[in-house]
């Protein structure tokens, strides 16, 4: 397994659109395993392949503290079940140190392929549904800061660019 480098806002590579996976083969399974290792090490609860500069439609999520519920979503398709919006303080491994309240549909249905390439469907609510919507945004090149006012987004951008310069 390998730790992957996580891209940080405002890296333009985070804006790329991810392509569908045509076959869940050993290359994709290795990517999934490396993404879990990277996410657990961070630590985080969700990671999209776009964040590690792989522009294919692969997402991993685990909301548990003991890493006991690893979920894989390949080529996910969601349908909104309940248009009702719920608010949640979201963060992102690509926007470290910043959390903002974002509103999203509360209940969704997902169909996706798992790590074995098997199609499954699930109804998701609560944090799992929010997290999956956040990760699918990454596959479209979208970040949670895009839901904020331009002023807030610019402030976050400046602070992160400063930190990135200090590090490099
Ligand atoms: C996405 O985010 C998410 O700022 C997953 O310094 C999060 O795992 C969706 C993290 C919340 C919905 C709600 C963030 C780690 C992890 C940071 C994450 C940080 C260190 C974020
Ligand atoms: Co994110």
- What integer pLDDT is reported at residue 82 of this predicted model? 86
Pocket test for ligand 1, best of 36, 41, 46 (most atoms within 8 A of CB): 46
Compute the distance from residue 44 Cα to the ligand 1 centre, in Å.
5
Q: Which is nearest to 133 in space by CA: 37, 61, 64, 35?
A: 61
pLDDT in tens, 118-138: 999 999 999 999 999 999 999
Cβ-based neighbours of 133, under 8 Å, separated by 6 or more: 78, 104, 105, 108
- What integer pLDDT is reported at residue 152 of this predicted model? 98
* Ligand 1-lining residues (CB < 6 angstroms): 42, 44-46, 88, 90-93, 96-98, 130-131, 134
The environment of the single-atom ion ligand 2, i.e. residues with CB closer than 5 A, is 92
Ligand nearest to the CA of 144: 2
pLDDT in tens, 57-116: 999 999 999 999 999 999 999 999 988 999 999 999 999 999 999 999 999 999 999 999
Task: Determine the Cα–Cα distance for residues 138 and 143; give it in Å rounded to an integer.
Answer: 6
Compute the distance from residue 23 Cα to the ligand 2 centre, in Å.
25
Cβ-based neighbours of 164, under 8 Å, separated by 6 or more: 8
Percent of the chain with pLDDT over 70: 100
Catalytic machinery residues: 135
Task: Determine the Cα–Cα distance for residues 12 and 98; give it in Å rounded to an integer.
Answer: 19
């Amino acid at each position: 397994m390998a730790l992957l480098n996580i891209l940080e806002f405002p890296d333009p590579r985070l804006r790329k659109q991810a392509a569908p996976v045509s076959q869940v083969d050993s290359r994709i399974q290795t990517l999934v395993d490396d993404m879990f290792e990277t996410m657990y090490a961070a630590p985080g609860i969700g990671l999209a392949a776009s964040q590690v500069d792989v522009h294919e439609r692969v997402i991993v999520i685990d909301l548990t503290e003991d890493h006991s519920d690893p979920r894989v979503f390949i080529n996910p398709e969601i349908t909104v079940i309940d248009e009702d919006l719920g608010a949640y303080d979201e963060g992102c491994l690509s926007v470290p140190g910043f959390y903002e309240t974002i509103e999203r549909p509360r209940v969704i249905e997902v169909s996706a392929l798992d790590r074995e390439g098997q199609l499954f469907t699930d109804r998701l609510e609560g944090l799992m549904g929010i997290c999956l919507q956040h990760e699918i945004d990454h596959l479209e090149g979208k970040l949670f800061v895009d839901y904020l006012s331009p002023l807030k987004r610019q402030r976050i951008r400046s602070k992160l660019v400063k930190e990135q310069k200090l590090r490099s």
